[in-house]
Amino acid sequence: MHPALPPHTPFDDHPAGCWCGQDGACAPAGTPRSLWQARRAFLLLGGAATASATLPAWAQVDVGASSRLRHLVPAEELEQAAEQEYAKLLQEARSQGKLVPAGDAQTQRLQRIAQALIPHTAAWNERARQWQWSVALIRSNDINAFCMPGGKIAFFTGIIDKLRLSDDEIAMVMGHEMAHALREHSREQLAKNTATSLGISLGAQLLGLGDVGNYAARLGGQLLSLRFSRNDESDADLVGLEIAARAGYNPNAAVSLWEKMGNATGSNANGLAFLSTHPSGPERIRELQRNVPRVTGLYEAARRR
């Protein structure tokens, strides 16, 4: 929960008909109190977001700051919603005999790669230190993988088998999906959806954010269907590339991965759930090629350790 705004305190030297907060900020005459408080709350949240949306000082890739808007949805509540949704998904897969056992060689392969990447995540989001990371493999022909807020990862067997992914390529997929969670792209998208759907009534919600948080929790089922922006995808590509390189995975695999994705798109449009939200294309590959040299030294250093 964010702190409530300070109580209203009138000042005699302000224009007639206005009202103000303790910091002296005045609402124009005739402005409804709730809307002015909402605006003040939004500005306060924006300031806090600016202070917290920093990048690691040592980052080799160039990505933008996170959006201020994401603070409209409390991270704790979204992570709880994601954990519940993830548990339901795994239970459904288990009941259908599609959850690959933890002792399976492919599941252990994913877990091994995840354990290599996880130590390099907290620099991008301090909350990741508290996340209970989890990795699951689901038997499905779909080419798909995801990481939900809070570090809940799932791969479908289709993405590994159909694309014949190497460990390096799996690390690039996993790093990319981790980056979406670390950079809070789902949180930002849900905040945008929340703000749009609530409209003017958001003014009252911003005072405490409790109702907005509950609304986000009710949107937990949308987490798997969110479509990220082009900027989000580029952001996740580059952050994931660096995380994987620091873990000792060859960054050139990001290029071969998306070349395989592009070939899969051209040969078969069925079962490509991953590509419906992660479009491939020449520009994406060129951007990765431009950034591979930036992280190659990190990869080589990791291999020497």
pLDDT in tens, 186-213: 787 777 766 555 543 444 444 444 454 4
- DSSP class of residue 14? S
The residue among 219 and 29 whose pLDDT is bigger is: 219
Query: For this structure, is 184 an active site residue?
Result: no
Question: Can you give the pLDDT at residue 98?
Answer: 98
> Looking only at Cα atoms, what is the longest distance across the chain?
74
Whole-model pTM: value is 0.71
> CA dihedral defined by 170, 175, 181, 183, rounded to 10 degrees?
-160
Question: Can you give the pLDDT at residue 3?
Answer: 37
What token pair was written down for 165? 């992914």
State the Rg of the chain over Cα.
Answer: 22
The residue among 299 and 228 whose pLDDT is bigger is: 299
Secondary structure string (H, E, C) spanning 114-162: HHHHHHHCCCCCHHHHCCCCEEEEECCCCCCEEEECCCEEEEEHHHHHH
Q: Which residues of 173-197 are buried (b: 16+ CB within 10 A; e: fewer)?
A: bbbbbbbbbbbbbbbbbbbbbbbee
Q: Which of 169, 177, 188, 233 is labelled catalytic? A: 177
Would you put residue 184 in left (φ > 0), alpha (ψ -120 to 50) or beta? Answer: left
Most confident of 31-35, 119-123, 200-204: 119-123
- DSSP class of residue 8? P
Measured distance CA(216)–CA(190) in Å, rounded = 7
pLDDT in tens, 249-273: 999 999 999 999 888 866 444 444 4
